[in-house]
Structure 1
Amino acid sequence: MTDASDAPSLTPAVSKRDHLRGRVAAPMTLVQFGDYVCPHCTE
């Protein structure tokens, strides 16, 4: 297993239209996108 510090840093495209929760300066960011037309994603 690789140390987490070796993982690439990703910058997701987050716009003002996205729903955000939590502190802006949080040590970790979780981005989740869903397709609510997909029957599996709507569950």
Structure 2
Amino acid sequence: MLEIIFIIAGIAVLCYTMILKGNAWQSFVDSHKKEKSDNEKKR
């Protein structure tokens, strides 16, 4: 019974970190794109 709880907890933590990393990656890409467009405007 304990093994099942550990497996579910592991999957939950994995999904949680994946979502966090996905959001962090998305915001990083967005800020990077914004920088690029700003540089294009300066030229």
TM-score, normalised to structure 1, is 0.17
Q: Higher helix share goes to which structure? A: 2
* The structure with more radius of gyration: 2
TM-score, normalised to structure 2, is 0.17
